Amino acid sequence: MGSSSKTLPVERWNRIREALKTERVVRVVDLCRRLGVSSATLRRDLEELEARGELHRVHGGAVAVDSRLDEPVFEDKAEMAAREKHRIAEAALRRIASGWTVYLDGGSTVLNLARELRTRKDVVVVTNSLRAAMELAGEGPRTILVGGELRRLSQTLVGPLTRYVLDALQFDIAFMGTMGISPDGTITTTEPAEAFTKEWVLGRAHQVVLLADRSKYGKVAFARAGHMKDVDVVITDRGLSAEWRRRLRTWSVQLVEV
């Protein structure tokens, strides 16, 4: 009625297309309020647009047809965290001198470092991570996998055999990941067997570097994997609180922010 408030269907469709383009996923209830129409109308619209192949309907809403994982929005979000990890990995890479023996722990942050290391043929890599080994399986530096029992969830090698092998090795530098760093400096992870392996590595490396993005500070997981006093360097993305900086100083840990 009147002149201004009434909108044509085609106009509404364009607004739906727009929302779908930027948000990739839309909810019926949401769009109802935003467009000021009833759910029935909106459903009819979505039905129409689906028939034209412009979107795909799902329970509770609709998704863009080309919402493959590699599409912009998701890539942005995933890439955002990935870029942090990438920068941390790059900083880690710069700390490795030629000819060194490098230990790589399991964990997604360290996995990025493994990928970076493919260009460094001048070092020797030792790891208990099957995923890291797979990264380096195609090309890269000499790679040694420690032995041990395969832990399915983490895809790492742990257990007594791992310790037995680690006892025969030592490292110039070890890069470790963690699930959490508690305020008292305890490094924790979810898997006891893995925690034990981590702690054992700490004692066999000349220099220990912990790779931990912001989200790890204050988090506490189940099993103790060592203490920050055994760590020499922490590489973190920016934005660490003054409180945590103070704590790191207390534990004589060098902080590297990227």
Residues that bind a copy of itself (CB under 8 A): 1, 4, 6, 8-11, 14, 17-18, 21-25, 27, 29-30, 58-61, 63, 66-67, 69, 74, 77-78, 81-82, 108, 111, 130-131, 133-134, 136-139, 142-150, 152-155, 157, 159, 161, 164-165, 168-169, 190
List 21, 44, 77, 94, residue binding DNA (CB under 7 A): 44
Nearer to DNA, 113 or 193 (CB): 193
Of the two residues 58 and 65, which places its CB atom closer to DNA in the complex? Answer: 58
15 binds DNA (CB under 7 A): no
CA terminus-to-terminus distance, the chain: 58
Footprint on residues 157-196 left by DNA (CB under 7 A): 192-193
- Closest to 211 (Cα-Cα) out of 244, 252, 258: 258
52 binds DNA (CB under 7 A): no
Binding to DNA by residue 14, rule CB under 7 A?
no
Show contacts of 139-148: CB within 8 Å, 24+ apart: 141/117, 144/169, 148/197
**Least CB distance to a copy of itself at residue 185 (A):** 23
Binding string to DNA for residues 55 to 94, with x set by CB under 7 A, is what? --xxxxx---------------------------------
Take residue 140 and report the two structure tokens written for it. 């890269």
Question: Whole-angstrom Cα distance, residue 188 to residue 227?
Answer: 9
Q: What three-state secondary structure class fits 179?
A: coil
Structure tokens at 26: 């839309």
Q: Would you tell me how many other CB atoms lie within 10 Å of the CB of residue 116?
A: 17
Contact 133, 153 (CB under 8 A): no
Q: Is 226 within 8 Å of 187 (Cβ atoms)? A: yes
Binding site for DNA (CB under 7 A): 1-2, 6-9, 12, 27-29, 36-41, 43-45, 47, 57-61, 121, 139, 142, 192-193
